[in-house]
Homo-oligomer: A and B are copies of this chain.
Amino acid sequence: MKKLVSNITSRDVDFSKWYTDVVREANLVAYSNVKGSMIICPYGYAIWENMQKLLDKEFKKSGHENVQMPMFIPESLLNVEKNHVKGFAPEVAWVTYGGNEKLEERMCVRPTSETLFCEYYKNIIKSYRDLPKLYNQWCTIVRWEKTTRPFLRSREILWQEGHTMHATSEDARNETLRILKIYEDFQRNILALPVIVGKKTESEKFAGAEETYTLEAMMYDGVALQNGTSHYFGDHFAKAFGIQFLDESNNLQTPYQTSWGVTTRMIGAIIMTHGDDHGLVLPPNIAPIKVIFVPINNDDKVKETISKIANELTEDITYKVDNSDKTPGFKFAEAEVKGIPIRIEVGLRDLETNEVTLVRRDTLEKIKVKIDEVVEKIPVLLKEIQNNLYNRAMERRDSKIFDVNSYDEMKELIKDKTGFVKVNWCGDAACEEKIKDDTGYKSRCIIEGEEPTGKCIICNKDAKCRIYVGKQY
């Protein structure tokens, strides 16, 4: 047990090393010889599968359908929307040969699929009856990042990308927000992440979008992780691609578009929000294994007790019995590293008083429970753990949100603190950039509903709004 835990650096000593230690020890990811690409191991992939299953259900419930677009984008197609190509061309992988033949036109591996969807929509949208089109795809995209970290920044990213077309601007805006709400609910209720949801500034928008909404999660160290975005495109792309439809009065109109996506990065957010020095801590609602049984003694009575409890659990309580020949101590450590929400230790001594020991992963608290009360206790405890993780993260987040009145105050504050800083801002990109260049704090999002409390902290002109600024992964 000591050995396993000692493989993990303390998160307060070196958070970055702690992260890679946890990712490795919990067997989420393995490094490959393919530079910048990771192998997602079974346990890591099972978390992603749970995320897919739950989100996909919400997408379908709200009328979305899955499709699969080509993986490659010819260079000329990527070039159609100017802002878009400017944003992506420097970071794509180019295929130049098919077998032994040089391609007439090189193609990139999709970094995102707006252009492919637009080309498709141009062919299938003719009339108002064809709208809305609510398509999504689960796939892998490629962005040629220089420095990579598992789940956070990688050359290959597993994600979903929704691309929708609507008859009116209002419909498209509603879709943008509807998806944002699905993401928010999922991240709060399932991943226990108290995300801050808001609009990106002009300079932080997605390449080609008119408005970008973001979900900003705060990690244990006070650094932000952009954990999903939903974009309103207006009719930029539709115009660039010449997509038009006949409305009910037989007039040609241009449709309005959205796109939205979340990635395996959400796994990184879970690790860095909930994990501790023992390893991963998984919110029960996303954990592939919710309960692990550890037999303390190799004894029939122990086995029978475990079977009895396990058989009575409802189907949604996924469990595992650790029957390996490792020591109980080693099994405890392994269950902790993997962040399994509840560990049930079943040993002969406890059985004398008809009890077993439940250990909560979030608090490591040990609870003796009568055998005939365990089945009832488990769902209650799982819910408690889920809530506790959320509340704990929320409290930490709130303790790291700082309100400043001046740039000097901000610079003084961030000397020994890291978090989100609320500042008044004039709306000028130059001021935003100065903060970033001086301090490394980038604007996260505009704080909607809050009026400016003073002048822009940089130029001292009238502030238009308040924004969060923060360091980011």
Contacts and interface: CB of A to CB of B under 8 A. Distances in A.
Interface of A: 30, 32-34, 37-42, 45-46, 48-49, 65-74, 77, 89-100, 106-107, 109, 116, 119-120, 123-124, 135, 139-140, 142, 144, 155-156, 158
A67 B39 contact: yes
A31 to B, nearest CB: 8
B99 A96 contact: no
A354 to B, nearest CB: 34
B119 A32 contact: yes
A317 to B, nearest CB: 17
Contact of A66 (B42, B96, B100): B42
A38 B116 CA distance: 11
Given A42-B66, A45-B66, A91-B99, A32 B144 contact: no
B96 A94 contact: yes
Ordered nearest first, which 7 A-B pairs have the shortest CB separation?
A: A37-B70, A42-B65, A98-B144, A94-B97, A40-B68, A34-B70, A96-B96
Given A93-B98, A140-B140, 15 more contacts: A30-B120, A33-B74, A34-B72, A34-B77, A37-B71, A38-B70, A42-B66, A45-B67, A89-B99, A90-B99, A94-B95, A94-B96, A94-B98, A95-B95, A96-B97
Copies in the complex: 2
A368 to B, nearest CB: 33
A71 B140 contact: yes
A221 to B, nearest CB: 27
24 contacts: A30-B120, A32-B70, A32-B120, A33-B74, A33-B119, A34-B73, A34-B74, A37-B70, A39-B69, A39-B70, A40-B68, A42-B66, A42-B67, A45-B65, A48-B68, A71-B109, A71-B142, A72-B93, A89-B99, A90-B100, A96-B97, A98-B155, A109-B109, A139-B140
Given A93-B95, A109-B109, A156 B45 contact: no
A151 to B, nearest CB: 12
A200 to B, nearest CB: 24
A166 B30 CA distance: 21
Contacts of A158: 68
A107 B30 contact: no
Contacts of A91: 99
Nearest to A119: B33
A124 B37 CA distance: 17
Contacts of A77: 33-34
A70 B30 contact: no
A94 B98 CA distance: 6
B107 A97 contact: no
A14 to B, nearest CB: 25
Contacts of A96: 94-97
A42 to B, nearest CB: 4
A156 B71 CA distance: 8
A434 to B, nearest CB: 28
B100 A32 contact: no
Nearest to A89: B99
Contact of A97 (B70, B74, B93): B93
A71 B92 CA distance: 14
A124 to B, nearest CB: 7
A45 B100 CA distance: 32
